[in-house]
Each structure stands twice: as C-alpha cells, then as structure tokens.
Structure 1
C-alpha cells in the first residue's frame, strides 16, 4: 500500500544518501517527482532546517535540461522533505565507463555547473553518484543540499558531506570553500568518466584524501582535447581553477539564458522562520521538460497518433477507391469524414496547446492530401473488383488487429 507525504503519493524507494531517503512519487496532478525525505537525525536539527529553508529559495532559481530542479519543500512537518524533478536513468557511477559519449557528457555537466553557479548555489557534493544519465545525457541532482546542511551538529550525527576523491583540497583541509570546489569535483567526475578509474585512486578515505592534497591526479587515458582542462580544474590552488563560464567557453558550450525565477510561495522551517520559496507551477498543456517522463510519454502518444493518421488514411483511400465507380457518394463521404476527423483533432490540439503542434499539423495536412491523391491513383490503376478484394482483406486484417490489441 502506498504512503502519502503531504500532497505526494510515495510509490517506491529509489535509494538513500547521507541526508535522506529518495522516493519515486506522484504529485497531485499525477506527475512523477522525486521526494527526498530527510533522515531523523537531520530533521532533529532545527538550525540545519532553518538554513536549508533559506537556501531552498536560491536552489529553486536553478533550472535547465541538465539539472533536476527543486519543485517544492516542506520543512515544518514531522518528516521534512524536498521535491525535485524525477530523472529516469542510472547514475554515472553505475553505467559502463569509460563513457563513449564523453564530449556530450562534458558539455552537459559544464552547462549544469554554469546554471548552478549563476544562481549563486554551491553544489558541494558533485560526484558520479549525483550525475544521472538519462538517454545518454547528464542531469545533476542534489545540488545545494550538502552545502546547506553542512553544520557541526548534522555532520557529527553521521551525514556524509562529500566523497574523498571528489572533494577539493580546501574542503578536506577545513578551509573556506566556494564555487571553485565544485570545479574541482567537476574535473574529478569527468576524469572518472573518461578513464573508468578514480582520479586519486582507491583505498581508505584518509589515504585518498592525502593523495588529493599532495599528489597529482591520474589522468592517463584522458583524450587530448579534455586533458588540459581537467588538469586546470584539478589544480590544488582554488584560484588557479577556471570558472564555470570559462569551462563552457573552452568546451564550446553556448551559455544558456538564465531561467527566470518562478512564482513564490511560503515554506516554514521547524524553528518558525518564514521563507519565500520559488515554486514553478506545472499546468496542463505546458510543454514537458526535455528528458522527463512526461516528455517521453508525449513523444510516444504523438508517435501512436501519427501511425493512426497514416494507417487510417491508407484504409480510407482504399475503401474510397473501391466505391468510386459504383457508389461515388459513399467515396466522397469517406474522404470528407476522414478529413473532418483529422481537422477536428488538430483543432483540439491547437486549443490545448499540445506538444509537437507544428509537426502534428504538417502530418494532418499531408494525411488529408495523401489520402485523396492515393484514392485517385488507386482508382486509375486497378479495377473496382480488385480494389474491393483489397479493401475486404484490409478490413478483416484491421478487425483482427483491433481484437488482438
């Protein structure tokens, strides 16, 4: 039996991290989302929750195809939680490496890093496990959470605030860390994707951390076009690392236009502080985000609809051609009925602002013209008896297909 958390219906547990458990869930409109339920020891820290509530406003300003946007949050309940876009795929840490589409991965991660930093957010825990691969493209998850919950009480309770080998030297040494630390993690993540090896080796966390601070990374096998950039990103001195803008420039990535902040709503932390939370409202008819489950379903529906337009057009043209000489009124009625049905469907799509509207209208017009033209061509090429046999066979086959489906 499924559980409910606020307005969200929890469907299944996806995994667990240092700060909470992630569940696949449905929002009130039936759309899939990811709900991160904070661990009890994190939820018990009122100071950490207040800080997270303040940071969520900034985190909501991060948007784009390569980040899992924060959609909602409720931090003043018994089980505090965050809601993000659900990304259907596998983490980079679980896919075969070296990654074949390395350039696409590098460009996508660079775009995600730029979007995060433009909003003033520091990820603080960028690593292969926090990069989801969806249809071959990367989507960064959990940005800003580690930075927001990096307090002494939370850390002392056992939460992991990073992974040695991907944490920058200044983080490991307890020095002040900013966006330059994310650049280091970006370089280490790409080095793993390019070589299939941890850039600072394996072993106890303390040994890996020592190599991060005192040794050079293992970049053997990194392609020549990427190796200089990764070496700069993995520099021990934070000031020597390139910015996200500079990384995009070196990779030839066109910086995306910043996503405007969505409407605001109120979220309260356990301590009673009131904060404004920017929450994007999903409305029926909005074009789904690329790579989301909604986008996949929309593509599937459009593919099925296109097949029906073409298939029914072929069938109508065959019936109309068979009836053209003995019953011309019936032939015209069939053609007119098909055209009217297709135009009505296009009108409904136009009114509802359906996805792929332009291609749908092109298919509809081509279907109407093609059906009429095919009808005339078949009538000129075959006898009425032959066309009647074809039409009867097609009718029987169509009924059999519908019954089996």
Structure 2
C-alpha cells in the first residue's frame, strides 16, 4: 500500500512527497485541470480501520463546506479504495513550527496577522460543526505572512480505538487540551486551548509547557500553568484564559475574533465574511490592553507596500549602475558618459511626474534623492578611482547582473 513519489492516484498525478504525519503521507499533485493540490494518503493502519474510515467519510461532507481565507479547504476524498486519500488546497509556504524553530519569535504585525488569521480559521471550522482536535504549529502554514490551517477535522474523525492504539491521534501533548490528555470528551474548547498554545509558541519562541518526554509535558499541561514569559502584554491575558484547565472558562472562537479584531464568520459553513471595524457594528472597540500592535493590512495595502519597495529598489539600483557606468567610460567615451547620466535623469524625472500626478510626495522625494545620489556617486568615483579600476568594477557589475537575469 505504499505510495510512489510519482504516479497517479485516482484522477490526480502525484509529483513529489511533501511530508508525513500521524495519519498519512502528503503529496504535491495535479488535479485533472492542472491545478496544484495536496493529496494526503492515509497510512495502512488507518486505512484498515473500517469504523474510522466510515466516520471520516461522514465528516468529509461537512469538511468540504468549510471555506475561508485561512483554511486549506478539503476539495475531494476517496475513502473506499485500496489507498484512501483526502485532497486539500495546496498552500505553498512554511509551517509555523519550522519558521519559529529556525528564526525568531513573531512580533508586531507578523504576530497580529497570525492571531487574527488563526482566530478566523477556528471560527470558520467551528461554525461548520467541526472540531480540529490537532491544531499545533506544524499544522499552520504561513504563506506571504498569512496563516492557513490544515488537517482540520481529520484527527477528530479518526478517533477510534484501533487508530488511537497506533499512536496516530496522540498528537503533541504541549498543544493538546487537558481534557484530551485525560480521555474526556473534547469539543470546540479543546481547539481554543490549542489555538492559545500555538500562538504562545509563536510569540515566545518556545513551547508553553516546556520540552521533554511526552508524559512529563502532559503532566505539566494538566497540573501546571503555561509559561507566557515574553508574550506581549496585549496578548498574555487572552492566552492565559484560553489555556485554562477548565473548558468552560475558555472563550468560544467567535468571541476570540471579536477580542482580537478579526472577522466573525456567520453561522454555518459559508464563505468568509468581510471584516468590519467594531465601531461599524455598533460595538465598543477593543480595550487598550487587548488591542494588537498594528492593524493587519489588507490585500490592497499589501500590494501597495510591495510596489513601493520595488520602486525604491529600482531607483537605487539603476542610480548605482548609471553612476558607476558613467564614471567608468568618462575618459574613453565622454559622450556615452553624459548619455547614461542624462538617460537616468530623464527616467527619474518621468517617474517623479507620475508621482506628482498621483500626489505621492514620498515617491517624488525619493526620485529627487535618487537623481542627486547618482550624480554625487559619479563625482565621487571620478575623484577617487582611476578610469581602469572603474572600468573593471563596471564590467564586474555587468557580469553579475547577467548571471542574475539568466538564473531568473
């Protein structure tokens, strides 16, 4: 029942193996229309459990109706063949676990976007009547700074005696709620606990209940409070409430959205709503200690920032190349030297004209500074370096630029 790294599975063409978890292997694949998807092929011991598969088949119909910008929705499933599988939207990014493990904790806008995105995802999942049961940093994929929750509902649906005996549903104790570890009924409040533990990991850079053998971590979850040292002041009180050992104390996912300024999905598995400020809904805005560091930018704002970064890099890079080239050919081809500076200056002036029409004062200032900087660089290079040295430098820059273009 092994799955090759390349081949076909039903109508899907498998391209490469992305990884493996407690329930199966995940493969990057193409659907019949040529779109990339993620195909999770269940492990043999899971596929052999008819009771678990029947329960999963019942849950899949509900899981397919969950929609939202922060969930990797279920697209298809085949649970009756020799190799049962589930197909989800493919999110190209890195898991939160890998990102924090190899870098620094999330701060500022990055953390705010994570908190709001996870709250929205959890609310959308719960609105459909589904319990994730296995929310943790490894099941959160970050793409362009936005979180996407994967594998929702699978752990809950496959919670049968034979599957659990294999250890597949044990999960990671530091992110499982106390009631799950104690074998009690686990509903939406268990996901709220996992949400807080996941956010605490992202905000502090370490598991909230420490590391060590699984039984030791599980004991701390049940009998001790989390370590929220270094968590932001606006976030720590909410995390502490969400990680209470009493499920009744934890706020529901819809309330989480309200408290962090995220969108609240309407009842039922429908598309994600448009976010509106609390004051527009006739409500009190978040209190100061609960207000995130900054508002998460929307798609239009993110695109505008990206264009601004590209513009500034263009002005600086072309200014350096123009100044260096003009200085290098000054003694050999003085007309070309003047032409290069004039061409750069004309380009900057045209761009500044567009900025003036758009009333973008910052862009005009940067264009003027770029033009003056290129002229200043030209004068400095001519005064300090010999023509031969400048010619070698210009040639080196040209070769590097050609290599970059070819690599691209």
> Which TM-score applies when normalising by structure 1?
0.64
Post-superposition Cα deviations, 1:345-364, rounded to whole Å, max 9, x if no partner, equal xxxxxxxxxxxxxxxxxxxx
Aligned to 1:99: 106
The 3 A distance-change label for structure 1 pair 49 and 210 is same
Q: Which runs of 5+ in 2 are unaligned?
A: 272-297, 311-405
**2:57 counterpart of 1:53:** yes
Post-superposition Cα deviations, 1:41-78, rounded to whole Å, max 9, x if no partner, equal 11011111100000101111211110000000001110
**In structure 1, the residue corresponding to 2:175 is in which secondary structure?**
coil
Post-superposition Cα deviations, 1:157-187, rounded to whole Å, max 9, x if no partner, equal 3323321000000000111110000000000
**2:91 counterpart of 1:84:** no
Query: What is the rounded CA distance, in whole Å, between the counterparts of 1:260 and 1:220 in structure 2?
Result: 37
Aligned to 1:206: 215
Alpha-carbon offset, residue 259 of structure 1: 7.4
Name whichever of 94-103 and 28-37 sits farther off.
94-103
Aligned to 1:193: 202
**In structure 2, the residue corresponding to 1:72 is in which secondary structure?**
strand
Aligned to 2:155: 146
**In structure 1, the residue corresponding to 2:202 is in which secondary structure?**
helix
The within-5 A match list for 1:56-71 is 56-71=60-75
| Counterpart selection for 1:118 from 107, 127, 140 | 127
**In structure 1, the residue corresponding to 2:29 is in which secondary structure?**
strand
Aligned to 1:321: none
Query: What is the rounded CA distance, in whole Å, between the counterparts of 2:254 and 2:150 in structure 1?
Result: 20
Aligned to 1:26: 30
**2:262 counterpart of 1:253:** yes
Alpha-carbon offset, residue 217 of structure 1: 0.3
Aligned to 1:2: 6
Query: What is the rounded CA distance, in whole Å, between the counterparts of 1:199 and 1:13 in structure 2?
Result: 31
Alpha-carbon offset, residue 82 of structure 1: 0.1
Aligned to 1:165: 174
Asked if structure 1 preserves the Cα contact closer than 8 Å seen for 2:174 and 2:209, the reply is yes
Asked if structure 1 preserves the Cα contact closer than 8 Å seen for 2:176 and 2:190, the reply is yes
Asked if structure 2 preserves the Cα contact closer than 8 Å seen for 1:89 and 1:134, the reply is yes
**In structure 2, the residue corresponding to 1:52 is in which secondary structure?**
helix
Post-superposition Cα deviations, 1:189-238, rounded to whole Å, max 9, x if no partner, equal 00000000110000000000000000010000000110110001000100
Alpha-carbon offset, residue 155 of structure 1: 1.2
Query: What is the rounded CA distance, in whole Å, between the counterparts of 2:207 and 2:52 in structure 1?
Result: 32
**In structure 2, the residue corresponding to 1:207 is in which secondary structure?**
helix
Post-superposition Cα deviations, 1:225-280, rounded to whole Å, max 9, x if no partner, equal 10110001000100000000111111011214567669xxxxxxxxxxxxxxxxxx
- State the 4+ residue runs in structure 1 displaced beyond 4 angstroms: 257-262
Query: What is the rounded CA distance, in whole Å, between the counterparts of 1:173 and 1:52 in structure 2?
Result: 23
**In structure 1, the residue corresponding to 2:226 is in which secondary structure?**
coil
Query: What is the rounded CA distance, in whole Å, between the counterparts of 1:32 and 1:224 in structure 2?
Result: 41
> Which TM-score applies when normalising by structure 2?
0.63
Asked if structure 2 preserves the Cα contact closer than 8 Å seen for 1:63 and 1:259, the reply is no
Query: What is the rounded CA distance, in whole Å, between the counterparts of 1:97 and 1:168 in structure 2?
Result: 26
Query: What is the rounded CA distance, in whole Å, between the counterparts of 2:8 and 2:125 in structure 1?
Result: 30
The 3 A distance-change label for structure 1 pair 261 and 223 is closer
Instruction: Identify the structure with bigger relative contact order (alpha carbons < 8 Å, sequence gap 6+).
Output: 1
